[in-house]
Amino acid sequence: MRLLTEKCTGCGYCVLVCPYNALTTNGWAKLIPANCTDCNLCVYACPVDCFVPELETPLKPYRPRVKEEYEVVVIGSGIGGLMVGAALAQAGRAVAVFEKLGFPGGRYTELTYKGAAVTTSAWTSLGPRSNIGRLLADLRIELDYVSLEDVGLTEQYAIHFADGRHYAGLFDLLTPQTRKAWLKAVIGGRKSQSSFLNQISAADYVAQFSTDPDLLAVVDAVVTTASGLSSSQMPASEYIQIALASREAGRQFAMPRGGVRSIIKALTRTLREAGGQLFVRSPVARILVKGNQAVGVRLADGREVRSEVVIHNGGPARFGQLVGAKNLPRDYVGRLTALRGVECAALFCATRQPLFTDAPITITPQCRWVAGIFSPTVLDPSLSRTGHYLYDAFFPTRSDDRVAELGLALADLRNLFPRFDDVVEWTVPMFFTGAWPGTESGQTFGQTGDHRLDPVTPIENCYLVGMDVKGSGVAGDLIPVGVRQLLAYLKVELKSQR
Ligand SMILES: Cc1cc2nc3c(=O)[nH]c(=O)nc-3n(C[C@H](O)[C@H](O)[C@H](O)COP(=O)(O)OP(=O)(O)OC[C@H]3O[C@@H](n4cnc5c(N)ncnc54)[C@H](O)[C@@H]3O)c2cc1C
Ligand code: SF4
Ligand code: SF4
């Protein structure tokens, strides 16, 4: 196996899937040739095609049986692609979903590593009251959630300052006066003019209500944990949406039992039960366009599949590549290429002793690098081996010096939890950058509200779905907004609405 290190973005997926410890990462993947058995699993785990098999006798290419024609082809099985695919299959359309990786879910699932469910990015939705929870209910998917209430907790996040101060929740930290000011900012924001809130940063907006440095530090850490941005990079409108959605979830804040892959498994099952097909290890190489109309796709193995409708879930950059710039109006190509990805990282850890138990999330304001830590095992201990506790420490990336960034993140963890080195079992760094960013457009200034992409593209019968399409909310929870819009364009009513 050859590893093209120059293409590596550092996501760590290959390390998670390699059964022979032939891969390590210090922020960039490294191959240990002596351990490699050429099993090829990494080829189908890498989102950016870093692995090139080098067998003397090449393996027979994977070639699933695919029909020549479908009504709908979905490119990519991220949560957006699967939601729209499942809804269309339920509406009786002949749907095929093509996924380049060896597993469905994209950045919204878990891979099993050393007996633990390690997220491929997303930790959780906010639970049944979130956009994702409501859309799943509309697809008649019943999930078994573990909520705060179920495990006897009251707060979504506790607060642990770098200087050692610890608070059970935001209201535990704030004085009554600051609490009132923050509520006024958030609840009043719902009624304010969106154009003003789109133009002012979350940091400047909250500072108009209170200059309490602790509140501003928490707002910054919450924004970073939810999006990878600082509070001065995110418009106030997005912060308000995040704060309101978290409040709305309340003690119903929940994670699906078994992790977010339970959502992906349920969507895949729903798609298939309704007659749809999902093909993994099946990259699409081209969206076929005739005149100005999408007529199907060409798979990477050369086969062409005709389709009345093509839906793309792979992000704006890949959409431009698959359609070809010459098929798109120049201003639209300009919009796609101008979108900037949010770069961020997480250090995933397993420990032999719990680091915290008072909330699933610990927000860590004023730390040098880490902004927040999610512990899925606080809600569902079965996500790891007995006696192991899982933590995903989230931080923005600010340089190419990943060794230094990881050093700073580790220093934060050691400072916050002085026993960290005694209890840590293993860590895996996961960077989301370059061609596989945290989000391609996300919630950055100038990329929100009306700037976001519509599901309708300039190519007839060709649509977009996923993180980069219109919507607003807590990270991936904005995706169902675009899914609903797309279904309305396609004149599909969700089952529960019929
Ligand atoms: C560190 C981190 C933490 C996060 N935490 C949360 C969280 O807790 N909650 C939350 O809601 N969101 C979270 N997010 C955001 C969330 O992960 C994303 O919003 C969401 O997963 C994006 O889904 P999507 O539908 O846009 O598609 P993606 O997950 O991007 O999937 C796109 C799919 O398309 C496939 N594809 C691409 N090109 C092709 C092709 N040519 N042919 C076939 N297939 C192709 C890809 O392989 C991929 O599987 C987090 C993100 C990061 C980075
Ligand atoms: S081919 Fe298999 S053994 Fe070799 S690095 Fe990839 S996953 Fe590991
Ligand atoms: S991009 Fe991710 S999967 Fe690919 S080699 Fe780098 S770390 Fe591994």
Instruction: Considering every ligand atom shown, identify the ligand nearest to the alpha carbon of residue 465 and give its number.
Output: 1
pLDDT tens for 5-42 read 999 999 999 999 999 999 999 999 999 999 999 999 99
Q: Cα of 102 to ligand 1 centre, how many Å?
A: 14
Q: What is the pLDDT of residue 373?
A: 98
State the Cα angle at 447 between 445 and 448, rounded to 5°. 85
pLDDT tens for 151-172 read 999 999 999 999 999 999 999 9
CA 484, CA 471: separation in Å to the nearest integer?
A: 10
Q: Cα of 56 to ligand 1 centre, how many Å?
A: 35
Pocket of ligand 3 (CB under 6 A): 8-14, 25, 29, 45-46, 48, 50
Q: What is the mean pLDDT of residues 39-47?
A: 96
Going by pLDDT thresholds of 50, 70 and 90, the confidence category of residue 195 is confident
Counting residues of the chain whose pLDDT is more than 90, the rounded percentage is 86
Distances, alpha carbon 194 to alpha carbons 250, 450, 455, in Å: 25, 11, 22
Q: What is the pLDDT of residue 249?
A: 86
Whether the per-residue pLDDT at 498 is higher than 70: the answer is no
Is 124 near ligand 1, meaning CB less than 6 Å away? yes
Q: What is the pLDDT of residue 496?
A: 64
Q: Which of 317, 322, 336, 326 is nearest to 284 (CA)?
A: 322
Q: What is the pLDDT of residue 222?
A: 96
Asked if residue 242 lies in contact with residue 226, where contact means CB atoms within 8 angstroms, the answer is: yes
For residue 458, what are the contacts with CB-CB under 8 A and spacing of at least 6? 292, 328, 329, 332
Q: What is the pLDDT of residue 379?
A: 97
pLDDT tens for 428-449 read 999 999 999 988 777 888 888 7
CA 268, CA 404: separation in Å to the nearest integer?
A: 40
Considering only CA atoms, which residue is closest to atom 8 of ligand 2?
18
Q: What is the mean pLDDT of the chain?
A: 94
Q: Between the ranges 49-58, 64-73, 469-478, 487-496, where is the mean pLDDT highest?
A: 64-73
pLDDT tens for 259-275 read 999 999 999 999 999 99
Query: Edge-to-edge strands of the sheet including 372-374?
Result: 166-167, 157-160, 361-363, 372-374, 389-396, 344-351, 424-432
Whether the per-residue pLDDT at 497 is higher than 70: the answer is no
CA 216, CA 220: separation in Å to the nearest integer?
A: 6
For residue 126, what are the contacts with CB-CB under 8 A and spacing of at least 6? 132, 133, 245, 246, 248, 249, 253, 254, 474, 477
CA 447, CA 172: separation in Å to the nearest integer?
A: 34
Whether the per-residue pLDDT at 368 is higher than 60: the answer is yes
Strand, coil or helix: 176: helix
Whether the per-residue pLDDT at 58 is higher than 70: the answer is no
The first and second tokens of residue 370, run together, are 């880490």
Distances, alpha carbon 269 to alpha carbons 89, 104, 151, 254, 491, in Å: 11, 11, 28, 22, 23
Is 24 near ligand 2, meaning CB less than 6 Å away? no
Asked if residue 398 lies in contact with residue 377, where contact means CB atoms within 8 angstroms, the answer is: no
Q: What is the pLDDT of residue 125?
A: 84
CA 303, CA 379: separation in Å to the nearest integer?
A: 45
Q: Which atom of ligand 1 is nearest to the CA of 394?
A: 1
Higher-confidence position of 53 and 192: 53
Q: What are phi and psi of 242, to 5 degrees?
A: -65, -45
Strand, coil or helix: 255: strand
Q: What is the mean pLDDT of residues 102-124?
A: 96
CA 18, CA 5: separation in Å to the nearest integer?
A: 16
Counting residues of the chain whose pLDDT is more than 70, the rounded percentage is 98
Q: What is the pLDDT of residue 446?
A: 82
pLDDT tens for 215-261 read 999 999 999 999 899 999 999 999 999 999 888 888 889 999 999 99
Instruction: Considering every ligand atom shown, identify the ligand nearest to the alpha carbon of residue 25 and give its number.
Output: 3
Lowest mean pLDDT among 6-15, 171-180, 470-479: 470-479
Considering only CA atoms, which residue is closest to atom 35 of ligand 1?
76
Is 78 near ligand 1, meaning CB less than 6 Å away? yes
- The H or E element that residue 297 is part of is strand 293-299
Query: For a substitution probing ligand 1, which of 121, 132, 319 has the most ligand atoms within 8 Å of its CB?
Result: 121
CA 222, CA 225: separation in Å to the nearest integer?
A: 5
pLDDT tens for 272-300 read 999 999 999 999 999 999 999 999 999 99
Q: What is the pLDDT of residue 449?
A: 78
Q: What is the mean pLDDT of residues 139-162?
A: 96
Question: SS3 letters for 385-453?
Answer: CCCCEEEEEEEECCCCCHHHHHHHHHHHHHHHCCCHHHHEEEEEEEEEECCECCECCCCCCCCCHHHCE
CA 343, CA 325: separation in Å to the nearest integer?
A: 25
Distances, alpha carbon 353 to alpha carbons 34, 356, 380, 417, in Å: 34, 9, 15, 11
Query: For a substitution probing ligand 1, which of 107, 118, 262 has the most ligand atoms within 8 Å of its CB?
Result: 107
For residue 282, what are the contacts with CB-CB under 8 A and spacing of at least 6? 62, 64, 66, 98, 99, 100, 299, 300
The first and second tokens of residue 50, run together, are 């870093």
For residue 476, what are the contacts with CB-CB under 8 A and spacing of at least 6? 79, 107, 108, 122, 125, 132, 467
Going by pLDDT thresholds of 50, 70 and 90, the confidence category of residue 475 is confident
- Taken in order of first residue, the domains within the chain and their CATH numbers are 2-52 (3.30.70.20), 69-108+262-340+439-497 (3.50.50.60)
pLDDT tens for 397-437 read 989 899 999 999 999 999 999 999 999 999 999 999 999 99
Q: Cα of 50 to ligand 3 centre, how many Å?
A: 6
- The H or E element that residue 282 is part of is none
Strand, coil or helix: 249: helix
Q: Which of 327, 311, 307, 380 is nearest to 119 (CA)?
A: 380
